[in-house]
Amino acid sequence: MVGTLLINPTGILAEHFDKSNGLASNDTWGMAEDKNGKIWLATYEGINVYDPDLEKLYLIKFPNDLLVNNYRSISKLKNDRLFIGGIRGYVIIDLEQNSAELFQFKAEVSRIFWKAHEKNDGSIWMGTLDGLIKYEPAENSFYKIDEFSGLSSSRIWLIEEDKNGKLWLGNDLGINVLDPSNNTVTYLGRFNGLTSDYVSMLLQTPQKELVFGGDNGFSILNLDSMRITNVLPENGMVPPIMYDMLAVGEDIYVGSENGIVKVVRPTSTNPDKPWKFTRFGKPEEGFQRL
């Protein structure tokens, strides 16, 4: 089974989209839900929007977007805007104004825009395969931070901002913590207690924790105490390779190499509550292993 799958809260397959029924490409790289409940899909060959009320799938086309195309990510910005990253460029969609602004780089610049985050000062920070790029809208200027500027790797695909305004950057060589106030960079990885140096997902929970995951379970960092709790494959977190995470209340949903895993964990009010892992994506639920 290829394409995009929508499941209901019980884990049962509700919708399946592919090129045969309107999806721009069977390779879907990014998803986001807007304030009206519509679901935006970034695919290899274009952008789709699914309206669950009308049960219709739409294709969004932009003029002169040949350099961007091949969309790889969707990030939510402030003021009801969406950042959709592609190869050598990105699109910022203003849902309130019903407008789109296309940013294209030169053809010889091979950047894949994976993630974007907007700070309160209006600056937009973008993770690419060629470093972290800061965009200043007021100046219409771009600045790049990479390995030569202190990052452990230029392959930045995850960005989260903590309560102190620091940016946590996930890459293939651990976590870099950037303080934009003085441009200092610190490092966090397996040597510091994480389960792996390969960080493919980064989540900030409502409890002000950061969750890091990759190819060997995941780690939960309490930002107040800086205490790390590791959940490894031998603890029941299988399969080990994970790609994305979503916090729903105190539970965590993990997108993995073989289905979706719901993680129920101990809480501050119930610290003796056992860890529980439930995987959705079984053949009897309408799924097939890829």
Q: Per-residue pLDDT tens for 216-240? A: 888 899 988 889 988 887 777 665 5
Q: Which of 81, 84, 86, 78 is nearest to 98 (CA)?
A: 81
The verdict on whether omega for the bond into residue 240 sits within 30 degrees of 0, i.e. cis, is no
More confident residue, 3 or 130: 130
- Who wins on pLDDT, 174 or 69? 174
**pLDDT score of 118 more than 90:** yes
Rounded to two decimals, the pTM is 0.83
Distance of CA 287 to the CA centre of its chain: 23
Q: Is 159 inside any structural domain?
A: no
Q: Indicate whether 278 belongs to any domain.
A: yes
**pLDDT at position 285 over 50:** no
Predicted confidence at residue 287, as pLDDT, reads 43
Exposed/middle/buried for residue 77 (C-beta within 10 Å: 0-12, 13-18, 19+): middle
Domain that holds residue 248: 203-290
11 Cα distance to chain centroid: 21
- For residue 57, what are its two tokens? 């799938």
Greater model confidence, 204 or 273: 204
Question: Is 232 contained in some domain?
Answer: yes
Number of domains in the chain: 1
Would you state the pLDDT for residue 273? Answer: 77
The residue behind tokens 């979706």 is: 260
Q: How far is CA 25 from the centre of its chain?
A: 19
3-state helix, strand, coil in the chain (%, to 5): 5, 50, 45
Evaluate whether residue 7 is within a structural domain: no
Neighbours of 227 (CB within 10 A): 11
Contact yes or no for 240/248 (Cβ under 8 A): no
pLDDT of residue 289: 42
Amino acid identity of 284?
E
Assess if residue 101 is contained within a domain. Answer: no
Tell me whether residue 121 is exposed, middle or buried, using C-beta atoms within 10 angstroms of its C-beta: 0 to 12, 13 to 18, 19 or more.
exposed
pLDDT at position 288: 45
Burial of 78 by CB count in 10 Å (0-12 exposed, 13-18 middle, 19+ buried)? exposed
Mean pLDDT of the chain: 82
Answer yes or no: is 185 within a domain.
no
In tens, the pLDDT along 64-112 reads 655 556 788 889 999 999 999 888 788 899 999 888 888 877 654 557 8
The answer to whether position 237 is within a domain reads: yes
Residue 4 has pLDDT above 80, yes or no: no
Domain-embedded: residue 226: yes
Rounded CA separation 175/172 (Å): 8
pLDDT grade, residue 127 (50/70/90)?
very high
Contacts of 270 (CB under 8 A, 6+ apart): none
Confidence category of residue 29, pLDDT binned at 50, 70, 90: confident
For 290, counting Cβ atoms within 10 Å of its Cβ (0-12 exposed, 13-18 middle, 19+ buried), the class is exposed
